[in-house]
Amino acid sequence: MLAAQRKARILEEVGQKGAVRISEIADALKVSEVTIRRDVEALAAQGLVNKVHGGVTANSLSSTVEPPFATNSMREQNAKNAIAAEALKLVKPGMAVALMGGSSVYALAQKLREVPHLTIVTNSVPISDLYAQEQRGDQTVVLTGGFRTPTDSLVGKITSEVFSRFNLDLVFMGTFGMHGDFGFSSPNLMEAETNRDVIQRAAQFVVLADHTKWGGRGFTSFASLEDADVVITTDGISPQALKTLRSRVKDVRVASL
């Protein structure tokens, strides 16, 4: 198991339980406790968790910190693939589509390589690299400039300026958290500001957020639930959360795992 996969598993366990012992994680992953301690120390140095004697706990300040793309992309992979398959149904050949940063949107980008005659505008370095590997003549990919975030997204005034030049059919956007009162949020202030600007450029604003995002709150909100035209989540979401979403979002789609 790669280090990024181990770290993703640690973050999932801590996120679900609030605290977990080093020995439990080591047994579950069939690696040494020394290896897990090293992973925990790396996550703690990034502000993602708190290291305590014999274990690891959630960081109460983590609303301002987002895991790097390499780690985040390993989390909830089945959920992200299911959401991507559902989101693919919204895209038609010839559309102009914005793909924002983050691992959920990256999963969709992988599937969109098969859709002909697309124009894609993205602020995601990994997505741009993905399309550079398999270029096809009937797709146009525009990578914005901007300041690079830990999730390898480009944000800021330069990014917003590039997006302002386009009229987009769809914008696909992930979110750090999805909350009834705080809407969709990000731990990064500049990213949130960029997201707000991009939403204004698209005919439809689509949020890709698996069930684990419900109840989460990043440092700053970039849209309310009502702002979304479509939310695609997964069937692990609670009935009450789904009821709230459907009462406030025009189109809620639940992907099956």
Q: What is the pLDDT of residues 194-241, one digit of tens each?
A: 999 999 999 999 999 999 899 888 889 999 999 999 999 999 999 999
Could you tell me if 232 and 206 are in contact, meaning their C-beta atoms sit under 8 angstroms apart? yes
Per residue in 80-130, pLDDT tens?
A: 999 999 999 999 999 999 999 989 999 999 999 999 999 999 999 999 999
Per residue in 186-195, pLDDT tens?
A: 988 899 999 9
What is the CA 76 to chain-centroid distance, rounded? 11
Per DSSP bridges, beta strands 55-58 and 19-21 are antiparallel
The tokens describing 236, both together, are: 């692990």
> Which runs of consecutive H residues, i.e. helices, occur in 75-203?
77-88, 103-112, 125-133, 157-163, 189-199
Q: What is the mean pLDDT of residues 50-64?
A: 74
What predicted TM-score, i.e. pTM, was given to this entire model?
A: 0.76
